[in-house]
Amino acid sequence: MRRGKWAAAAAGVVLLVAGCGGEGGADNDTASSGGSGAQGVKLDAATVSKEIDTAATAAGFTKDPEIDTVAPELKECMVNWAVDDPGKAADPEKALADTIAGLVEAGWTEGKGARQGYADVKTLTKGDWTIKSASDLGKGIKAVVFAGTHGTPECATLVIADMEKKKS
């Protein structure tokens, strides 16, 4: 049952990222960099995933190795990093804040946060990539997911095609 909830949360964040990105994959709520993060930065999915992993594990989170909601054809356009069990961190709220701080230290630009449904969502951008950090901060953190999208026209086309395929 726990795995099902995690998978649903991770899938929801990936859809949130895919559906809420503006031109170039970044939200309109990013910092004054125009939504493009660090200018001229070229990243690939493996690098984005590694940067999330480095920041999250340094903060005390562990990755759930069984959760990967990114379709194979989107592996170069999207990344998903779900926390195994936020309660394993000594202080999950501090671990989340430290993860965000670690990403900012790695060159990500933090945008405004927002409450969307049951999730507190933060947006970070770097180059053509956008990361959405979503967490359920109800009575204790129940889920933390980091989902990234590459904001190129090619990736946007692939994401839209994948969403259309899932509709039918």
Domain residue ranges in the chain: 2-167
Angstrom distance (rounded) from CA 144 to CA 55:
13
Q: What is the pLDDT of residue 25?
A: 37
DSSP label of 108 = P
Q: What is the pLDDT of residue 17?
A: 47
**pLDDT, tens digit, for every residue of 60-95?**
999 998 887 788 999 999 999 999 988 888 888 899
Q: What is the pLDDT of residue 63?
A: 93
Q: What is the pLDDT of residue 7?
A: 46
Q: What is the pLDDT of residue 39?
A: 54
From residue 101, how far is each of 64, 86, 156 by CA, in Å?
21, 17, 28
Q: What is the pLDDT of residue 108?
A: 98
Segment-wise mean pLDDT, segments of 10 residues, the chain, 168 residues: 46 48 37 42 92 97 86 93 88 92 97 83 96 80 88 93 86
Closest CA to 133 of 83, 60, 66, 58: 83
Angstrom distance (rounded) from CA 154 to CA 121:
25
Q: Is 2 helix (H, G, I), strand (E, B) or coil?
A: helix
Q: Is 62 helix (H, G, I), strand (E, B) or coil?
A: coil
| Structural Rg of the chain based on CA atoms | 15
Q: What is the pLDDT of residue 112?
A: 86
Q: What is the pLDDT of residue 88?
A: 86
Q: Is 90 helix (H, G, I), strand (E, B) or coil?
A: coil
